[in-house]
A and B are shown apart, each in its own frame.
Chain A
């Protein structure tokens, strides 16, 4: 292989990386807030799936992608409040509630998709998707244009989201309250911070961003809903939070890393000279996630009260 081929291959992978990482970035940055406040939301997979479905349904019937996003946002708020009710108010086991969310989320999105869409005689189930933006001059730069300047708006929103999340978490009074509630809830309580209220807010932030991450799957990447289309992304986002040391930038970097494996899979599958059975590529993101989890042996970044309901 000559240099040009290798360059094209590498830039091809990098060009798909950010796109593939986007749903993970939304979900994991949101989950950083939930976990920093002390709640681990294992229901991300289910929330992402319902977000993807509701965004698709709203966009399908209204014809507006923005209304699709709005639907995902409302979905996130509602499911976040429900998750917080179970885990914060009635202090149920967070893992059990998360598992219930995943089962019910997969069930309800699949059920409604089958009974609303598959049973009807729509000529097409496709929706228009967010177009890739093109920047004057920049998009035409060789390689770099492909890697950085040819995405849709939902991908570019992450450029604003991540610094904003980092700023809120580390430079504002609100962020300080979030971190204190997750590290020393008792002390925070004594200082007059409402532990429950902070955890409600953070779970909802996480849930909203996760549902929006799901919306990127239907509104920007695929042009329709497919049952269980998240295929583990909610769990991979959870791993990205751990691998990223519970910070927005870290979670984003981890998401991009996992994005490389998704991109590799797409890229090699697209090449006709198949060297490997496709399953070897399909399995990459999952293996990478396990490897990432075992490579972070220091638990220093873990919020001290993570997973523990607060009883005043």
Chain B
């Protein structure tokens, strides 16, 4: 009890510095570890890792126009990622971002195609809100199955991913196929339903700005509002939250609605801003990449902006790496998995060292 305040202040200060350093450095180290293991895999498959990574880097960051493509890829990752962060913070393992993205893309396209006469200032917002609603409902289905029947949400959200993807495949080859078309795709959506370009001639559009606003909005919701407090309380300990008077089931459904809504908005914006029509493979796996995006930064929506851009860069770069160096782009999935494992290992290491210090 002697060396009271000074030492404990000092200790607290150094602990805090270390925490901040670990918090910001950790994601970078995790990526480096993943890339290093990726290099070993590249060597094993007879590729030159330096060449491969250089092609990847140049593909993403060679010049400004390729960087706008990165931001274009980052947009859906940020939308889905911040949505997942809300669910993860609530202790709900929503693996269904992919399906919710499809649900949003389908509803958004349907609104754009079947109400084309509306003026643009109504049509575009309607497409986006409709997409969000579609994604929210799709996610709430899994939330309802969990709260009502206790069905494990990991399995149900994965199953609902398949259902959404198969349903999309049916819609674009049947009921929604473009008139007089033979390809399984819908007609192009009208001009009034499209997101305006913000930096022509690049394809970057208002969707990216909306994604940023969404991230900031959900950051405020999770960390600065009583709703967010309740959601986090349920995630940390549902029983304690229940005894504190928080409605656990209601918050789970709410978190799933927000989560799916964000993913659905991402889906609608992909149609309204990038592809202008719906087809089978509208997502190259955004919903799964977004899981890594959110976990990398400990489910913090502001961090997800950066993580989304980083992973957008990885996928954009990987496509160029495949074209220029002949390295299969699917390597990125390995790197995503390894990033999660590195983050997990760091987290566990931190807990172990904390336990030792206590």
Within 8 Å by CB of B166, from A239, A282, A290, lies A282
Chain B, residues 54-69, CB within 8 Å of chain A (1/0): the string is 0000000000000000
Complex contacts, B163 vs chain A, CB 8 Å: 283, 286-287
Asked if B198 CB lies within 8 Å of chain A CBs, one says no
- A4 in contact (CB, < 8 A): no
CA distance A277 to B176 in the complex (A): 14
Q: Mark B149-173, 1 if CB is under 8 A from A, else 0.
A: 1111011101110110011011001
A221 at the interface (CB under 8 A from B): no
CA distance A104 to B345 in the complex (A): 16
A235 proximal to B (CB < 8 A): yes
Q: Which of A93, A99, A290 is in CB contact (< 8 Å) with B159?
A: A290
| Complex Cα spacing A146 to B81, Å | 49
- Interface readout for A204-238 with B: 1 if CB under 8 Å, 0 if not? 00000000000000000000000100011001101
Q: Tell me which residues across on chain B come within 8 A of A238, comparing CB atoms.
A: 152, 154-155
**Chain A nearest Cβ from B310, distance in angstroms:** 16
Which residues of A have CB within 8 Å of B169? 279
Q: A279-B166, A287-B163 are in contact. Are A294 and B145 (CB under 8 A)?
A: yes
Q: Does A299 contact B (CB under 8 A)?
A: yes
Name the distance in Å between B233's Cβ and chain A's nearest Cβ. Answer: 18
B45 at the interface (CB under 8 A from A): yes
Interface flag for B220 (CB, 8 Å): no
* Number of interchain pairs (Cβ within 8 Å): 146
Q: A242 contacts which chain B residues (CB < 8 A)?
A: 152, 155
Q: How far is the CB of A288 from chain B (nearest CB, A)?
A: 9
The verdict on B291 contacting chain A, using a C-beta distance below 8 Å, is yes
**Nearest opposing residue in chain A for B326, CB measure:** A119
Q: B288 — nearest CB in chain A belongs to which residue?
A: A103
A-B contact pairs, 24 of them (CB 8 A): A86-B345, A92-B347, A96-B295, A97-B341, A100-B337, A103-B288, A103-B292, A104-B341, A105-B337, A107-B335, A111-B328, A114-B328, A115-B45, A232-B159, A238-B155, A239-B159, A279-B166, A286-B162, A287-B163, A293-B145, A293-B151, A293-B152, A294-B148, A299-B150
Chain B residues packing against A (C-beta within 8 Å): 41, 45-47, 93, 95, 145, 148-152, 154-156, 158-160, 162-163, 166-167, 169-170, 173-174, 288, 291-292, 295, 326-328, 330-338, 340-341, 344-345, 347-349, 351-352
* 5 further A-B pairs in the complex, CB-CB below 8 A; given A104-B338, A290-B156: A86-B344, A97-B340, A99-B93, A238-B155, A286-B160
